[in-house]
Structure 1
Amino acid sequence: MTTVEGSDRFRLIEADSPEQARARFARDVRAGLTATPKYLPCRYFYDDEGCRLFQAICELPEYYLTRTELAILKARVGEILRQLPPAVVLVELGSGDARKTRVLIEALLQRQASLLYVPVDISRTALVESARDLLRAYPGLTVTAVAAEYDDGLPYIAEIAGGRAGAGRPPLLVLWLGSSIGNFDPPDAVAFLRRVRPIMTPADAFLVGMDLHKDRAVLEPAYDDAQGVTARFNRNLLARINRELGGRFDVRAFRHRAFYNEARRRIEMHLVSERDQRVAVEALGLEVAFTAGEAVHTENSYKYTFEDIDAITGAAGFRLAGQWLDERRYFSVNLLRPAG
């Protein structure tokens, strides 16, 4: 752990050094490009350029997720907070630009004089920029940010909040918004929720956004927009390999493909090779062969029925304490508490 910058209201902790992060990226890229079928982990979308493109995606007319979840939070924040203790520490997994988090921060600061916010995100830049904006807007806010992948960030949460679960620390409100849970295959989602469970006490709450199963006519345009922003976002993964690992990808030789896999209730995103080609990745000492039409699987985004939500959260040791939907029933915001 390295604390790389700080002030009286802001501290940034990096779980990995830049060298460790680059080594992990290289290891995962090698594993994905030498697998059959090929894949690349979606967490590597979010370098600085990827974050910029994702913010643009969130503004697209086809991408209903962000504005729908934000509308639910704005309409229901009072009901949500009435189920919480009078003062909490706010934790967020995958905080990004924290645009939706502002709704909760504002409401919490109306109930408590000061608030500690602990965002965990893979993007150092996103953490620094969002913290700067939030601290300027909210004088009662203190931010301790953790630049880490989800699992690497979990050990810091209780420590930052003031102690281990059950050791007299303040109650936590943990956020996992944006249906980020949908990037996990269901067994992996259960496994991750089980890893979150031990840091929580009965006084804590876990607010999870989960996108709902709906018609492919709504789903597919959200991941394949008319302006091609999502296509650029997807291809940026290859551009990142070029920038950071000495890759020789011609990103124009791969097309974006997104479709709804009805049987598995998930959107799949792929990069499809337009021709037979061989691509060197110098930092890996690797040359990768692609055939025309061969796909590299880059992301899943699962969509849930209400039965799915009950099954996943229950299997992970949580009970559903509250659930809020939009009028079209496109999206759900779910308040979970540790069971038992």
Structure 2
Amino acid sequence: MNTTRFTLDHRLPADHYLAGLRADVTRGLTAAPRTLSPKWFYDERGSELFERITALPEYYLTRAEYEILTGHAAEIAEACGARTLVELGSGSSRKTRVLLDALLGAGTLERYVPVDVSSTALVAAGEALCVEYPKLDVAATVTDFEDDLVLSDDDPAPRMLAFLGSTLGNFDPAQRRALYAEFLEALRPDDSLLLGADLVKDESVLIPAYNDGLGITAEFNKNVLAVLNRELNADFHLAEFDHHAEWNAQEERIEMYLRSRSPQTVKIRALDLVVDFDADEDLRTELSCKFRRPGLTAELEAGGFAVTRWWTDRAERFALLLARPVH
């Protein structure tokens, strides 16, 4: 790897992962109803399972977003004129190559700033990108963007902040307001925000995307309990929980649960916590909010962003939008 073009800024304390897990699990499992954050799905096994999910015929989201990117990347590049691309939750940066190609093709891009909690993923992506794009600087940042989104004044302007995938839907309305405020504080008036959003559609399409016929999503969901067993010395019996996904029509969101098959007691020894589950009691593990264009545009405007462009796939299942900060 050409180290003159790759830098890694590690902003997380050594105990960040475990401290965050302990705090979230303590808060979530003592609440009513009980919840866990979806961020804890993604250990090595969980990440592998999610990659399998994205290839399932029922899981339209990744394909729909990729269709938009490949069809409109040149328009996105022209509209933003970004010299720096910042990507949140970048992981392997595979989808981003479509944007990198378009921005480099437009002659504007100088720097790519992937942001992720995993230094391993960032280094692997940085190594590959420096080989594939000999003229691109890669300035990776290891941080949790929910708590610490600080963009460097040294990044060439204008910048585009990309928040791809359907991760926005994992945040409830109050959490999204806080997220927009963080974005607004980090961005300058000439910067832009590229945001992915899954759209409201028929329940017959939504439910199978979170409850596939092969049971991979069920395995993915239960894996969060394996994470707690390993990291917090818990004794969850995965076979005693069933995966359940339902469409909340009033809130327009998918809700994913682990449902206790019988009355049971779980000990989480690292937290000195004992949790009693009733039969059929639900532990909510994920929200996946779905959006309509008027509502999402309005909440972004309330958060200080003006939506300037909106693209969807041909079936109008997913959207990418470009917004400008209004300071």
TM-score computed with the length of structure 2 as normaliser: 0.94
Q: Mark the CA change 1:114 to 1:89 in structure 2 (over 3 Å): closer, same or farther.
A: closer
C-alpha distance in structure 2 between counterparts of 1:280 and 1:308, whole Å: 42
C-alpha distance in structure 1 between counterparts of 2:80 and 2:272, whole Å: 53
1:300 — aligned with what?
287
SS at match of 1:83: helix
SS at match of 2:307: strand
Contact 1:46 1:123 (C-alpha < 8 Å) held by counterparts: no
Q: Mark the CA change 1:252 to 1:11 in structure 2 (over 3 Å): closer, same or farther.
A: farther
Report the CA distance between 1:252 and its aligned residue.
1.5
SS at match of 1:283: helix
SS at match of 1:63: coil
Report the CA distance between 1:172 and its aligned residue.
0.5
Q: Mark the CA change 1:197 to 1:221 in structure 2 (over 3 Å): closer, same or farther.
A: same
2:309 pairs with 1:322: yes
Which of 73, 76, 83 is the matching residue for 1:77?
A: 73
Q: Mark the CA change 1:297 to 1:273 in structure 2 (over 3 Å): closer, same or farther.
A: same
Q: Mark the CA change 1:264 to 1:41 in structure 2 (over 3 Å): closer, same or farther.
A: same
C-alpha distance in structure 1 between counterparts of 2:227 and 2:8, whole Å: 24
Which residue identity is paired with 2:240? A
Report the CA distance between 1:114 and its aligned residue.
6.0
C-alpha distance in structure 1 between counterparts of 2:266 and 2:80, whole Å: 53
Spell out, residue by residue over 1:111-164, the C-alpha distance to the aligned partner (whole angstroms, 9 max, x if none).
338632111123333323333332332222222222222223412x2x2x517x
C-alpha distance in structure 1 between counterparts of 2:174 and 2:273, whole Å: 32
1:259 — aligned with what?
246
SS at match of 1:151: coil
SS at match of 1:319: strand
Q: Mark the CA change 1:131 to 1:54 in structure 2 (over 3 Å): closer, same or farther.
A: farther
2:165 — aligned with what?
178
Which of 193, 215, 218 is the matching residue for 1:231?
A: 218
Which of 208, 211, 214 is the matching residue for 2:195?
A: 208
2:11 — aligned with what?
15
C-alpha distance in structure 2 between counterparts of 1:172 and 1:92, whole Å: 10
Report the CA distance between 1:308 and its aligned residue.
1.2
Report the CA distance between 1:171 and its aligned residue.
1.1
SS at match of 1:296: strand
SS at match of 1:18: coil
Which of 100, 111, 114 is the matching residue for 1:105?
A: 100
Spell out, residue by residue over 1:53-90, the C-alpha distance to the aligned partner (whole angstroms, 9 max, x if none).
111111111111111111111111111111123x5111
Q: Select between 13-22 and 233-242 the one with higher mean Cα deviation.
A: 13-22
Contact 2:85 2:109 (C-alpha < 8 Å) held by counterparts: no
Percent identity for Structure 1 against Structure 2? 42
Contact 2:2 2:130 (C-alpha < 8 Å) held by counterparts: no
Contact 2:113 2:139 (C-alpha < 8 Å) held by counterparts: yes
Q: Select between 286-295 and 113-122 the one with higher mean Cα deviation.
A: 113-122
Contact 2:84 2:109 (C-alpha < 8 Å) held by counterparts: no
SS at match of 2:4: coil
Report the CA distance between 1:315 and its aligned residue.
0.7
Q: Mark the CA change 1:35 to 1:162 in structure 2 (over 3 Å): closer, same or farther.
A: same
C-alpha distance in structure 2 between counterparts of 1:11 and 1:130, whole Å: 12
2:90 pairs with 1:95: yes
2:145 pairs with 1:145: no
Q: Mark the CA change 1:339 to 1:39 in structure 2 (over 3 Å): closer, same or farther.
A: same
Which residue identity is paired with 1:188? Q
SS at match of 2:80: coil
SS at match of 1:17: coil
Contact 2:192 2:324 (C-alpha < 8 Å) held by counterparts: yes
Which residue identity is paired with 1:66? T
Contact 2:83 2:109 (C-alpha < 8 Å) held by counterparts: no
Q: What RMSD over aligned residues (CA atoms) do the two structures have, in Å?
A: 1.9
Report the CA distance between 1:213 and its aligned residue.
0.5
C-alpha distance in structure 1 between counterparts of 2:258 and 2:119, whole Å: 26
Report the CA distance between 1:17 and its aligned residue.
2.7
C-alpha distance in structure 1 between counterparts of 2:242 and 2:160, whole Å: 40
